[in-house]
Amino acid sequence: MDSEITAGGAVVTGAGRGLGKEIARLLVERGHLVLVTDVDEATAQATAAELGDRAVARTLDVRDHAAVVAACEDVVARAGRLDVWVNNAGVIVTGPAWEQDEPTRRLMVEVNALGTINGTLAALTSMRGPDGTGGGHVINIVSLAGLSAVAGEAVYAASKHAAIGFSLSTMADLRAAGIRNIDISCICPDGIWTPMLYDKLDDPAAALSFSGTLLQPADVVQAVRKVLDRPRLVTAVPRARGALVRFGDTFPAFSLAVAPVFVKKGRRTQRKLLKAGGTRAPQRPE
């Protein structure tokens, strides 16, 4: 297979579980040597072991810029070059911002926004190379919360808006500087059935995340596969919810007025899931 001979290195952050793990699996299948990174050492190692000898575990806290740069150097040393960097690591704590303490707010902004900035910049430096002939693709896992208001997820939404604003602005800077061989693609999914959402089944503040059709990680991996083949600035998953969210963003007063309808719908889904299979909640995804 050609891709096995030619593919360079790839890095996925927050790849110990959930969506990141499945994105790492996709990149291994596409022939990349994949650095499976996570702040949680045990899950990074377990994922890399599961994905085989083209996956290497590395403990990485995306808030630490120097550590992110070191991870980038590591994958280049192993694979010769860096082709793909996926900023996937994310955290969410729900509830009104005024009920969250400063470390909680800081955590979300630092992991979701600063972590994405750290990863993107480390990757760009490596992909540009000393003579600018490199090239590569940065994929930033954002959220529909990066495109509009989300009741119950204000600080999370702020951090995701920052991630998308940074990504698009940096793409503009790359093109203005004449750099055309590097792309940044943002993926903005609705709620995904991962441990992140499972842990919010009984949390009314997370209702909006359950108000659409719950995605499986495979649905988002499919979107990642598509942008790997054809880079795209922003991909909402599913597309129809993206259109709805963007409409709401164009008319914010209308959007805030109808939000309670969607919150109620999300609560109904949460209750249904909790009751699924009798009185037991569905199994926690990996």
Round to whole Å and give the CA distance between 87 and 11.
Answer: 8
Are 100 and 53 in contact, with CB atoms under 8 Å apart? no
Are 144 and 241 in contact, with CB atoms under 8 Å apart? yes
Task: Look up residue 220 and give its two tokens.
Answer: 């988002």
Q: Taking CB under 6 A as the rule, which mask of x and - marks residues 187-226 in contact with ligand NAD?
A: --x-xx-xxxx-----------x-----------------
Question: Of these, 40, 41, 74, 219, which contacts ligand NAD (CB under 6 A)?
Answer: 40
CB of 128 to ligand NAD, least distance (A): 24
Task: Look up residue 69 and give its two tokens.
Answer: 């740069």
Question: Of these, 34, 111, 236, 263, which contacts ligand NAD (CB under 6 A)?
Answer: 111
Q: In this chain, which stretch among 34-42, 174-182, 254-262, 275-283 interacts with ligand NAD, using CB under 6 A?
A: 34-42
Round to whole Å and give the CA distance between 286 and 206.
Answer: 20
* C-beta of 7 vs 24, nearer to ligand NAD: 24
Phi, psi torsion values for 263, nearest 5 degrees:
-60, -45
Residues annotated catalytic, as ranges: 156
* C-beta of 177 vs 240, nearer to ligand NAD: 240
CB of 118 to ligand NAD, least distance (A): 10
Which residues is 124 bridged to in the sheet?
Answer: none
Instruction: Check the CA dihedral 63-161-149-143 and report its sign.
Output: negative
CB of 15 to ligand NAD, least distance (A): 7
* C-beta of 134 vs 266, nearer to ligand NAD: 266
Could you give the dihedral angle defined by the CA atoms of residues 170, 157, 239 and 19, in that order, rounded to the nearest 10 degrees? 90
Burial class (CB in 10 A: 0-12, 13-18, 19+), 66: exposed
Q: In this chain, which stretch among 12-20, 49-57, 228-236, 244-252 interacts with ligand NAD, using CB under 6 A?
A: 12-20
Q: In this chain, which stretch among 10-18, 68-76, 173-181, 241-249 interacts with ligand NAD, using CB under 6 A?
A: 10-18
Give, for 9, the enclosing helix (H) or strand (E): strand 9-12
Q: Taking CB under 6 A as the rule, which mask of x and - marks residues 125-144 in contact with ligand NAD?
A: ----------------x-x-
Phi, psi torsion values for 173, nearest 5 degrees:
-65, -40
What is the footprint of ligand NAD within residues 73-92 (CB under 6 A)? 88-91
* Residue 79 CA: distances (Å) to CA of 9, 54, 84, 102, 244: 5, 10, 12, 40, 42
Q: Does 47 bind ligand NAD (CB under 6 A)?
A: no
Q: Does 61 bind ligand NAD (CB under 6 A)?
A: yes
CB of 155 to ligand NAD, least distance (A): 12
Question: Of these, 9, 10, 12, 14, which contacts ligand NAD (CB under 6 A)?
Answer: 14
Which residues contact ligand NAD (rule: CB under 6 A)? 13-14, 16-20, 38-40, 43, 60-63, 88-91, 111, 141, 143, 189, 191-192, 194-197, 209
